[in-house]
Amino acid sequence: MDVKAVNHFDLLSAHLIVHFTFSMLHDIPVIRVPDSYRNNGGTSRTNKFRIFNPETFMSIPGYSISKTSFLKFEQCQKAFFLYKNHPYLRDKFSIDKQLTFKRGHDVGYFAQQLFSGGIDVSKEVKGSAAGAELTKALIENKTEVIYEATFIYNGVLIMADILTLSEGKYTAYEVKSSMKISETYLKDAYLQYYVLKNSLENFDDLFLVTINPDYIRDEEIDSKKLFRKRSVKIKAEENFAYFEHQLNSAHSILEQNVIPNIAIGKQCFRPYQCDYFGSCWKDTVTEDSIFNLPYIDKNKLFEWYNNGIKTIADVTDELIEKPAALKIKKSFVNNEPIVDKEKIIEFLMKIQGTVIAMDMEIWSAAIPQLTGTKPFEQVPFLVSFYNGTETSHFFTGHTADDRRAFAEHLIKLSSAYNTILVYDKTMEVMTINSLVHKYPDLSEALNALKSKLVDVFEIFLELAYYNPSFKSNFSLKVVSAILLQDVSYSKITSGLEAMNYFEQYRLADNEIEKEVFKSELIEYCNTDTVATFKLAEFMRKLV
């Protein structure tokens, strides 16, 4: 498996989701707002907070800057302007990105259990103006718990994940599907605090809610132990002047109605790759662009670019410090692959006796689904083998914790072979080590299996072989697509997609549907093993 377990995607268990689609839509039961909340019972109440009137800023009704658009402004003013005025230029979301967003939404939904029984504004009305009006009504009725509470202040729209009223004070909670707090998360929370403090005169604090990495699931999930919280009050209030200044600048850019003239740069990747990368870079990332060179720091690449060095042919040898990067540069210029026969032979010498290729798929749920597991713990559910003529596999749906059965079949299916080929062994080694720790009585056999691993990825990482068509991507999918004519992937194309298919398998009630998901997963895993085996064969033919 070449897409390793970093920031892994998961869905929630069946009691949280009724239906799932890649477009991130859910069929979740709606909590209805009581009629008294809708009509206010004909009574008049004092407005406890201020709703910003967009017409005082712009003539476009309902105008606002969302958290997302503000964070884009912080990253790049051009991206911010395009996001607000030219959304059609936005790059198409990859399925992996959609699934990551889906994970965040689902964890946020689960976190509502911390304060159950609330009214979900986003399920009741559509549109920010209607959401703000409903939020206002709920606050006037002293609703104790509101989900997706909507406020507009100073042209900024926010939707607080959870807003609670206790002892006359309001507290907000912003939920993140992560175990760590990033600078982006803090800026997001500070902006929300700024809006809430200026919208609710009895607003007290906002907490960032993240997943507790030390939580271990019992039979039932304890939501209070699963999450941990951090107040942002002090730092947020210290930054009020900063947000006032930044928002004025953002408003000014929109008023001018001219696309900011900002060249590509490091901001295109920090903190995330920009959604308008395709538009801004379309004339930059050509086949001979310097940005296709691996092993060179982005700061150095932008330094060259800003000095007029834009193609690989423009780069003189003395500018390149790393020998590996220099070899790749010459490969590009000459349009010839690197074939280091001595290194390839050295690698092939590691392959002894009978040979089989192996690939694993893992499940890494943000909210642990098995007793005794932690958030994002890697749980293997599928292993495939290919010996050059046929594939074999073991699959478990983990209706209960079947990791012991997985370990036993892992040993059984590989014990007859002297060499086990893998592609980027990082995840496989971590999985085997976790099984050794969990099942000490199987440690001898599992460690023996681990000692047989030979990593085909090393050939490409160490430049024993390099094709200019790889550019800077050495993933199994890219490498096999270029070098192997008879290997292709069907529906699943990444580890995140595989985890999603596995979750859909677990959630499906229809046995035929379950079998379809299972078959797709096995085919994907089998294809990885076939590609790994054939890449080793490809190397043999070169020497």
Phi-psi domain of 264 (left: phi exceeds 0; alpha: psi -120 through 50; beta: other): beta
Amino acid at 267: Q
Q: What SS3 state is found at 207? A: strand
In degrees, rounded to 5, the angle at the alpha carbon of residue 469 between the alpha carbons of residues 466 and 473 is: 75
Q: What SS3 state is found at 312? A: helix
Average pLDDT, the chain: 88
Residue showing tokens 């959630």: 507
Above pLDDT 90, what percent of the chain? 83
CA dist 193 and 179 (Å) reads 21
- Concatenated DSSP letters for 474-541? --HHHHHHHH-TT----S--SHHHHHHHHHHHHH---HHHHHHHHHHHHHHHHHHHHHHHHHHHHHHH
pLDDT, tens only, 363-401: 999 999 999 999 999 999 999 999 999 999 999 999 999
Angle formed by the axes of helices 341-348 and 511-542, nearest 10°: 120
pLDDT at position 32: 28
pLDDT reading at 37 higher than 70: no
Pick the closest to residue 262 from 276, 252, 251 (CA basis): 276
pLDDT reading at 53 higher than 90: no
Lowest mean pLDDT, pick from 101-110, 201-210, 338-347:
101-110
pLDDT at position 105: 86
pLDDT reading at 49 higher than 70: no
pLDDT at position 11: 30
Q: How many CB atoms lie within 10 A of CB 451?
A: 8
Class of domain 344-542: alpha beta
Question: Rounded to 5 degrees, what are φ and ψ at 451?
Answer: -70, -15
CA dist 35 and 311 (Å) reads 66
pLDDT reading at 325 higher than 90: yes
Q: Could you tell me which residues come within 8 angstroms of residue 526 by beta carbon, excluding any fewer than 6 positions away?
A: 384, 386, 391, 393
Angle formed by the axes of helices 67-75 and 77-85, nearest 10°: 140
pLDDT reading at 20 higher than 60: no
The kind and range of the H/E element at 108 are: helix 95-111
Of the two residues 31 and 349, the one the predictor is more confident about is: 349
Q: Which residues pair with 146 in a beta bridge?
A: 119, 163
pLDDT at position 377: 96
Lowest mean pLDDT, pick from 41-50, 66-75, 188-197, 440-449:
41-50
In degrees, rounded to 5, the angle at the alpha carbon of residue 325 between the alpha carbons of residues 322 and 331 is: 145
55-251 CATH, one of 3.30.70, 3.90.320, 1.10.3470, 1.10.1060: 3.90.320
pLDDT reading at 4 higher than 90: no
CA dist 329 and 332 (Å) reads 5
Radius of gyration, CA atoms only, the chain: 27
Of the two residues 61 and 281, the one the predictor is more confident about is: 281
pLDDT, tens only, 154-173: 999 999 999 999 999 999 99
Residue showing tokens 């206790």: 166
pLDDT at position 63: 52
CA dist 226 and 306 (Å) reads 48
Q: Tell me the pairing of strands 203-211 and 169-175.
A: parallel
Q: How many CB atoms lie within 10 A of CB 216?
A: 15
Length of the chain: 543
CA dist 511 and 39 (Å) reads 47
Q: Where are the domains of the chain?
A: 55-251, 344-542
Cβ(446)–Cβ(429) below 8 Å? no
CA dist 527 and 510 (Å) reads 26
Amino acid at 170: Y
